[in-house]
Homo-oligomer: A and B are copies of this chain.
Amino acid sequence: MDTRTGLPVVGMVGGGQLARMTHQAAIALGQSLKVLATAADDGAAMVAADVELGEHTDLAALRRFAQGCDVVTFDHEHVPGEHIRALAADGVKIFPPADALLYAQDKQAMRERLTALGAPAPRWRPVASATDIAEFAAEVGWPVIAKATRGGYDGKGVWVLRDATAAADLVATGTALIVEERVNLVREVAVQVARSPFGQVAVYPVVETVQADGICVEVIAPAQDLPAERALAAQKLAIDIAHDLGVVGLVAVELFDTGTELLVNELAMRPHNSGHWTIEGARTSQFEQHLRAVLDYPMGDTSLAAPYVVMANVLGGADGGLSIDERLHHLFATDPAVKVHLYGKQVRPGRKIGHVTALGDDLTEVRARAARAAKWLQEGC
């Protein structure tokens, strides 16, 4: 409890853009997010008042950080489960709990648990050898998708294996792996749900996530041409997963859409790129919702704020001779209604440095505006 305000203090481990945007939401709720950052120039560390520097792998640093926090949560999924358990044993309220976060940290554990839950998923198998992979491929056909059980994100830790030789090369690296069939998908969609310790849930509309090279580049809310019963089933599935896994906070369920069914691809247990559209596009942003969830406040309304909302990621582009500030001038001149979110990051090619959101009544126009805005910031033209 912040004695100056009588309001709770939420601590977030990790100082990236998710913490940065959660801090904006915290301010409205009368709070100030406490941030454990690894560097003073992390996106959130540059904008929050209460910042500690330390590594998320350092239990002593986590213990120091947790002091004075009413609740501790995460802007990434990399805090070791044993550290989370140690803090919980100290009496720290820390969400999501280690037993839930595991399923966002370990893809094999996630696949086993969701299989037990009966969630629709690609065929998959844990593998220990090239022979295991070849046997699986004999059943489902080459190519197969190999995933590191731990540590992957944004397309890293995922490989398309086209033959036994590729399988052998990957196995030789010693990476713990599962393999999955390559799904013949027509697109990817995602659904976010927030769950409080009390067990209240709030689910957002299903959105389409457009990927390029394993990185999300565009999110369209709501997902178009998705039969109502299939959208409802996806929301129900997300709620079931949140309950079954004991999630507290946000979980994003990423799904393959085959055109006839939705298959679970990944889980993320934190605010997620697929929910950035909610800042302007939903009555309650995912960042406020995450705070409400971990604080056991009643959940906020997840309704759309406009018929169509499109978010486009801004990746660092080549240096086109214009500074980011100049690009911003030009963008604002070209589209006064687009909303910009910059994360305070140094521009490096391919790095997510921000996102833009457009909304309106005409999806074709809204998509074009978001794409153009992202391109302006990325390439300066």
A interface residues, Cβ below 8 angstroms from B: 1-2, 4-8, 20-21, 23-24, 26-30, 32, 41, 45-49, 51, 202, 283-284, 292, 297-301, 303, 305-306, 323-325, 328-329, 332-333, 336-337, 339-347, 354
With CB as the reference atom, state the residue of chain B lying closest to A30. B342
Note all chain B residues with C-beta closer than 8 A to A28: 24, 339-342
Query: Contact check: which of B6, B41, B303, B336 meets A323 at CB < 8 Å?
Result: B6
* A30 & B300 in contact (Cβ 8 Å cutoff): no
Note all chain B residues with C-beta closer than 8 A to A306: 305
Q: How far is the CB of A5 from chain B (nearest CB, A)?
A: 5
With CB as the reference atom, state the residue of chain B lying closest to A334. B298
With CB as the reference atom, state the residue of chain B lying closest to A343. B30
Q: How far is the CB of A231 from chain B (nearest CB, A)?
A: 20
* B48 & A47 in contact (Cβ 8 Å cutoff): yes
Note all chain B residues with C-beta closer than 8 A to A49: 45-49, 51
* B29 & A340 in contact (Cβ 8 Å cutoff): yes
Note all chain B residues with C-beta closer than 8 A to A5: 46, 324, 342, 344-346
* A46 & B301 in contact (Cβ 8 Å cutoff): no
Note all chain B residues with C-beta closer than 8 A to A1: 325
* A47 & B32 in contact (Cβ 8 Å cutoff): yes
Note all chain B residues with C-beta closer than 8 A to A46: 2, 4-5, 32, 49
Copy count, this protein chain: 2
* A27 & B8 in contact (Cβ 8 Å cutoff): no
Q: How far is the CB of A16 from chain B (nearest CB, A)?
A: 13
Q: A336 with B301: in contact, given A4-B346, A341-B28 (CB under 8 Å)? A: yes
| Whole-angstrom CA separation of A292 from B343 in the bound complex | 18
* A297 & B30 in contact (Cβ 8 Å cutoff): no
With CB as the reference atom, state the residue of chain B lying closest to A297. B332
| Whole-angstrom CA separation of A23 from B47 in the bound complex | 8
Query: Contact check: which of B26, B298, B325 meets A8 at CB < 8 Å?
Result: B325
| Whole-angstrom CA separation of A364 from B332 in the bound complex | 35
Q: How far is the CB of A167 from chain B (nearest CB, A)?
A: 44
Note all chain B residues with C-beta closer than 8 A to A297: 328-329, 332
Query: Contact check: which of B30, B283, B328 meets A354 at CB < 8 Å?
Result: B30
Note all chain B residues with C-beta closer than 8 A to A342: 5, 7, 28-30
Q: How far is the CB of A30 from chain B (nearest CB, A)?
A: 3
| Whole-angstrom CA separation of A354 from B299 in the bound complex | 20
Note all chain B residues with C-beta closer than 8 A to A32: 46-47, 344
| Whole-angstrom CA separation of A324 from B2 in the bound complex | 12
Q: How far is the CB of A43 from chain B (nearest CB, A)?
A: 9
* B332 & A41 in contact (Cβ 8 Å cutoff): no
* A30 & B344 in contact (Cβ 8 Å cutoff): yes
* B6 & A336 in contact (Cβ 8 Å cutoff): no
| Whole-angstrom CA separation of A306 from B333 in the bound complex | 24
Note all chain B residues with C-beta closer than 8 A to A340: 28-30
